[in-house]
A and B are shown apart, each in its own frame.
Chain A
Amino acid sequence: MAMLEVNGINVYYGSIHAIKDISFEVNQGEIVTLIGANGAGKSTTLQTISGLLRSRTGSILFEGKSLGGIPAHKVVSMGIAHVPEGRRIFQQMTVEENIEMGAYTRPAGEYAANLENVFRHFPRLEERRRQIAGTLSGGEQQMLAMGRAMMSAPQLLMLDEPSMGLSPILVDEIFDIIKAFHESGTTILLVEQNANKSLAISDRAYVLENGKITLTGTGKELMQSEEIKKAYLGG
């Protein structure tokens, strides 16, 4: 049984059909990537899984349990953490208060260990723990959003375009951290426009176009596919 099974979901924004009958799965221990252009429906898919949006039909199963109708705040306690796109941090709180919010659904006893884990992956956040989060650089804000999500000790971490708008060096750093999360036992569902980087670390990937899955394969297979090279890898 796959850890996450998405079966034929359809999501609408009003009358706009954003997600058209998408099905895919994520197995325990994998890194799975959804790649695609702007507006392909990648973020919508993640938001539907985490309960921020609803699908009209189809089902989403997490470890055999249906996520249909479960509100976003309960999905987190089931073991799914979602890092929304665009570095959605709590601007006016300090770095540490942001991280604390990540542990909102967890028992207080776990806090210290989870905090240590986050600071191990992000030493820079520890240096800046008293700084107001809104004054962090873009890369640091992305790290903070990821660190905050890790505070809920998720089994499945969903990352929405973590490399967006970052310098190449920071992109490398972010992908290294994703790999490190993965190695420490977290299953990862990644949404990216940076196909090169994300396919290189993925076990499997799905290509989304206009709300439909058009191609699927292992990361390596897709990197060698002519179609992908043309559309996403710059020749």
Chain B
Amino acid sequence: MKKLQKSNLQSVSGSALPYIVVVAAFFIVTLLQKSGNLEQHMQGMLVPVCCYIVMALSLNLTVGIMGELSIGHAGFMSLGAFSGVVASQSLIDAVPNTALRLALSIACGACVAAVGGFLIGLPVLRLRGDYLAIVTLAFGEIIRDIITCLIVGHDKNGLHILFNFRGTKTVADLELVEGGLPIIKGAQGAIGTTKISSFGAGVILILIALFIILNFIKSRTGRAVIAIRDNRIAAESVGVEVMKNKMIAFVISTTLAGAAGALYGLNYTSLAADKFDFNKSILVLVFVVLGGLGNMLGSIISATVLTLLPEVLRGFDQYRMLIYAIVLILVMLATNSPKMKALLQKLLQDVKTLLFKAVPKRKSEGEV
């Protein structure tokens, strides 16, 4: 257990490895794409993989660094996705440049998720452990229900928003003028969205998320959050303000989830709120736990592998989810055994020494 903690902290203590891995993967995939060696259905997976990586990084900040189990993270992704879609569709005429529009939409999704994270964080962060997990779960479901009731359209007079609580309203009730565009149609979700997400944007978003999280961990606030996780009373006794610091970490986490959601939402022509249910939250949690709590590179790798695995297993037809589950169990068992961990550690160490021959080994690493 001690060894595990040790390796976790080291891996977050600011190495360039995660960045290198992401950039290298980007170039390899781009090369494959250019040379036509990437199958069609794999190409379709590129943006979702990026989204899930950002989601895993974001949740790792809450679960791994802050040490609070949140199982409603898909709710924030959902907030980001639908506000991103609304922003993008409303700006279609105003901002014809898709890259700029995508950036604006992602920023918009991130902002909405940040506000949502703050509002939900106010009651939730006062709770601990199981209670916090259950309440985040409830909020995730509430967000999903609210979006299911939402009817949104845009015309030259601006945005029109209706809450369809009784189920009696339709898009017609928006009273859009000629040339108006319905964006979200209640339970059907967002329909007719112009796809503007791209793999490049996804990779940039991953790099930004990594940069924010790795620097946050090293910052004064980040240290305070880790201190609270390690020992709340000791943290308070050295003068750390618990609520404020946790809130900062949580809002950063939900902001990134919102950004990932916006990128995700703009990758599909239609998107229903039901996509972001409890299962999605758990899926992301699985990425985080499998990759290692507090281990950002681990989150990247596990999110990639576990998102692609069902696709790779398509050949097994209807057995693929069974095999997926078995692989998941085996990997969990393997990564939990001390022997396997020591082996992985050694491999990682070898790779590191190969990559940074010039950098002398740190004393503490020498002991492993």
Contacts and interface: CB of A to CB of B under 8 A. Distances in A.
A111 B224 CA distance: 17
A72 to B, nearest CB: 4
A132 B364 CA distance: 9
Interface in A103-161: 104-105, 130-132, 134-135, 145, 148-149, 151-152
Interface in A53-103: 71-77, 81-84, 88-94, 97, 100-102
B240 A73 contact: yes
Nearest to A71: B241
B231 A76 contact: no
B37 interface: no
A50 interface: yes
B236 A134 contact: no
Interface in B1-15: 2, 5-6, 8-9
Contacts of B220: 104
A52 B234 CA distance: 10
B226 interface: yes
A92 B224 contact: no
A135 B237 contact: no
A88 B231 contact: yes
Interface in A135-190: 135, 145, 148-149, 151-152
Nearest to B241: A73
Interface string B226-238: 1100110111111
A102 B239 CA distance: 8
B9 A132 contact: yes
Interface residues of B, number: 25
Contact of B231 (A52, A91, A100): A91
A35 B239 CA distance: 26
B363 interface: yes
Contact of A101 (B8, B235, B241, B363): B235
A91 B226 CA distance: 10
Given A52-B233, A100-B223, A101-B227, A132 B6 contact: yes
A132 to B, nearest CB: 5
A90 B233 contact: no
Contact of B238 (A71, A76, A130): A76
Contacts of B237: 50, 52, 72, 76, 81-84, 88, 149
A52 B239 contact: no
A81 B2 CA distance: 29
Contacts of A71: 241
Contacts of B223: 97, 100-101
B2 A132 contact: yes
B199 to A, nearest CB: 36
Interface in B219-275: 220, 223-224, 226-227, 230-231, 233-242
Interface of B: 2, 5-6, 8-9, 220, 223-224, 226-227, 230-231, 233-242, 362-364
Q: Which 8 A-B pairs have the closest CB atoms?
A: A76-B239, A88-B234, A105-B239, A90-B230, A72-B236, A73-B241, A82-B237, A92-B5
Interface of A: 50-52, 71-77, 81-84, 88-94, 97, 100-102, 104-105, 130-132, 134-135, 145, 148-149, 151-152
21 contacts: A51-B236, A52-B233, A73-B242, A77-B239, A83-B237, A84-B234, A88-B233, A88-B234, A88-B237, A90-B227, A92-B5, A93-B9, A93-B226, A94-B364, A101-B223, A101-B227, A101-B238, A132-B9, A134-B2, A145-B234, A152-B239
